[in-house]
Amino acid sequence: MSEHRDAAGRRRRLVDGRGRLRGDGGRHFDPVQVQTRGSLSWVLKNWLDDLEVRNYSASTVQSRREMGLQFVEYCLERDVERAAAVTRPLIERYQRFLFQQRNAQGKRLSVNYQIQRISCVQYLFRWAVRRGHVGANPAADIDRPRPVQRLPEHLTRSEVSAVMAVSDVTTGIGLRDRAILEVLYSTGLRRAECAALSVYDINADRGVVTVRQGKGKKDRVVPIGERARSWVAKYEKEYRESIAPLNETTLFLTDDGRPFQAYRLGNLVRRLLQAAGVVKPGACHLFRHTMATVLLEGGCDVRLVQEMLGHASLDTTALYTHVSVAHLTAAHKACHPAETGSDGPETGAEGASEA
């Protein structure tokens, strides 16, 4: 028993808090370098390599790497090292393990989090069967949790105004922050797309911004309003030029003149929201939800919103129609007999009191 615990302990120390294998001193290394053909780590590494060959985005490969290594760690702690030794009951226990986990606040992991990790295991073994690395797919008939579809949060107009007013635009950093917020509000870009913008991507004459290598490695062209363009131009002229290194073309730069990483841009926007007293979940995506909602409430066609947001499926965009309730309330007021008076003269409050 003690030998088993010692072995499990050594395996746990190979994995850091994000589920990545690490070597001495916490240095991350490629698991294939220490594993043999047919092992789980070897199959995982070859699957990830194949995703790169098939032109999957770097963010997709990285997320599947972390999710896959989390499953590898779970299996290693139970002395399952070879892919062919993974069974359906083991994957079902892994699914229960995910369900029973708690985050730092003591809450259950989100259903979407659980679905993503089970899906990753299914994709991995489906690929392994096609390549002949395992004889059968133990994850083929695993039932994933039912997804929870929540309506996206969005900002009210007063909240948008409050957030915009937070930045001190008499300073260079404040100008940059205001420009970032205006771009997010006007275009609905994802945080990674906003962080990757080049100074050449905004065409002021045409009033559009070109999003290069967006989600799914798809380019698209999105309208950008005059107000957002003016703030970007002011930021470029009064601040960016003074901090940008030679030959640096990234539009939004950190205080030390470096391009933003996506998570740092998200943290910045979250701080600005908190400073404005907005307590809703999300950061950059909150502006994305807001942009979609106000366009639909203004009468914009849902297919045009889908194109601007870069959604692969119209079903994803249609979710915002449930949030955009202005046209629904107007239709209800115009058509419901209790509102139009077609139910009769004594159906209102006055009639009820007289009765």
- Spans of all domains in the chain: 2-130, 157-294
pLDDT over threshold 50, residue 26: no
Unique residue bearing structure tokens 């030390």: 256
Among the listed residues 45, 154, 288, 289, the single catalytic one is: 288
CA distances from 195 to 98, 111, 129, 264 (A): 32, 28, 38, 9
Mean pLDDT of 319-324: 64
Q: Please tell me the least confidently modeled range out of 105-109, 237-241, 327-331.
A: 327-331
Asked about 311 being catalytic, the answer comes back as: yes
Q: Return the percentage of the chain with pLDDT > 70, whole number.
A: 79
Q: Could you confirm whether 285 is annotated as catalytic? A: yes
Query: pLDDT grade, residue 10 (50/70/90)?
Result: very low
pLDDT for position 342:
63
Handedness of CA 41, 46, 51, 53 (dihedral sign): positive
Structure confidence at residue 341 as a pLDDT band (50, 70, 90): low
- Given a cut of 60, is residue 34 above it in pLDDT? no
Alpha-carbon distance of 292 to 276, in angstroms, equals: 21
Interaxial angle between packed helices 284-297 and 326-335, expressed in degrees from 0 to 180 and rounded to the nearest 10:
30
Lowest mean pLDDT among 39-48, 211-220, 281-290: 211-220
Residue 314 to residue 306: CA distance in whole angstroms: 6
Look-up of token digits 């999003």: 211
H helices of the chain, in order, are 2-13, 40-53, 58-76, 88-100, 111-130, 157-164, 172-187, 191-195, 226-235, 241-243, 262-275, 284-297, 302-309, 314-318, 320-323, 326-335, 337-340, 349-354
**pLDDT attached to residue 12:** 42
Which member of 20, 126, 215, 220 is catalytic?
215
Q: pLDDT tier at 189 (50, 70, 90 boundaries)?
A: very high
Active-site annotation holder among 74, 94, 235, 320: 320
Helix 58-76 and helix 111-130: axis angle, to 10°?
Answer: 90
Handedness of CA 290, 292, 294, 296 (dihedral sign): negative
Three-class DSSP category at 22? strand
Token pair belonging to 100: 């029973």
215 is a catalytic site residue: yes
**Angle ∠(177,183,185) on CA atoms, nearest 5:** 100
Tokens at residue 83, please?
């892919």
Residue 353 to residue 355: CA distance in whole angstroms = 5
Of 132, 130, 128, 129, which is closest to residue 41 (Cα–Cα)? 128
Indicate the pLDDT class of residue 11, thresholds 50, 70 and 90.
very low
Question: Is 74 an annotated catalytic residue?
Answer: no
Give the model's pLDDT for residue 311: 81
Active site residue 200: no
Instruction: Give the per-residue pLDDT at 141.
Output: 86
- Mean of per-residue pLDDT scores for the chain: 82
What confidence score (pLDDT) does residue 325 get? 63
- DSSP label of 198: B
Place of tokens 């060959």: 53
For residue 225, give the 3-state DSSP assignment: coil
Per-residue pLDDT, averaged over 254-279, amounts to: 93
Exposure string (b/e) for 80-89, b if CB count within 10 Å is 16 or more?
bbbbbbbeee
pLDDT of residue 144: 87
Tell me, yes or no, if 288 is annotated catalytic: yes
Place of tokens 């030029």: 241
pTM of the complete model: 0.67
> How is domain 157-294 classified at the CATH fold level?
hpI Integrase; Chain A (1.10.443)
The pLDDT value recorded for residue 22 is: 42
Question: Residue 110: pLDDT band by 50, 70, 90 thresholds?
Answer: confident
> For 125-153, what is each residue's pLDDT tens digit?
999 999 999 999 999 988 888 877 777 78
Please, are residues 202 and 196 in contact by the beta-carbon 8 Å criterion?
A: no
What is the Cα gyration radius of the chain?
A: 26
pLDDT band (50, 70, 90) for residue 70: very high
- As a whole number, mean pLDDT of residues 251-271 equals 94
Please answer whether residues 70 and 20 qualify as being in contact, where contact means their C-beta atoms are separated by less than 8 angstroms: no
SS3 353: helix
